[in-house]
């Protein structure tokens, strides 16, 4: 099986997009803008480990023309231009049963809304699992598509984000009404 990769340049940082023949496998932040860093990101141990759980025999090739990657990039363009509020691309995420449960719950957070880690724990029926929820959110490799940027601290503070707090703030400012910023 072959996986296809491309770089996506967003207004708040570059992303690595990876797809199979049927869906998006990875949308993760690249914290360096050089071409070399992009190539390394495809081979990054964390990303490969994530992808290989679901695709153990796959090879990954650079192919920005992949139809799924083109579709994903178009939807991101629409999102960043304020046109798109919800994504409709098939996501193939691979995690533990608990992680998948948390990630599916993140998909229900509406555009322009935020929830705390405790809120998510309550919504999945595990109010004592706040740290587990935080760990599952930290393991999300589908940034923006699975909107972990909409999860904030219980005191309203911005907490860690794979793309950095600048990207998280940018995404929330893009989505939140001016009166809520």
Judge whether 39 counts as a catalytic residue. Answer: no
CB atoms within 10 A of CB 58: 16
> What distance in Å separates the CA atoms of residue 19 and residue 46, rounded to the nearest whole number?
16
Per the document, the length of the chain is 181
Whether the Cβ atoms of residue 138 and residue 102 lie closer than 8 Å to each other: no
Which member of 12, 39, 60, 148 is catalytic?
148
Whether the Cβ atoms of residue 10 and residue 80 lie closer than 8 Å to each other: yes
Point out the residues that are catalytic.
Answer: 148
């Amino acid at each position: 099986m072959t996986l296809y990769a491309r770089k996506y340049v967003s207004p708040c940082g570059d992303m690595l997009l990876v797809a199979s023949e049927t869906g998006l496998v990875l949308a993760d932040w690249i914290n360096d803008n050089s071409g070399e860093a992009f190539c390394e990101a495809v081979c990054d141990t964390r990303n490969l480990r994530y992808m290989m759980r679901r695709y153990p025999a796959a090879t990954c090739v650079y192919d920005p023309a992949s139809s799924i990657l083109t579709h994903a990039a178009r939807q991101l363009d629409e999102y960043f231009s304020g046109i798109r509020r919800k994504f409709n691309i098939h996501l193939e995420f691979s995690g533990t049963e608990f992680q998948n449960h948390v990630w599916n719950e993140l998909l229900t957070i509406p555009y322009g809304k935020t929830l705390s880690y405790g809120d998510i724990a309550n919504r999945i029926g595990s109010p004592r699992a706040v740290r587990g929820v935080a760990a599952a959110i930290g393991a999300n490799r589908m940034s923006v598509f699975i909107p972990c940027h909409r999860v904030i601290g219980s005191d309203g503070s911005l907490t860690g984000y794979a793309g950095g707090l600048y990207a998280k703030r940018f995404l929330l400012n893009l989505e939140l009404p001016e009166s809520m910023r």
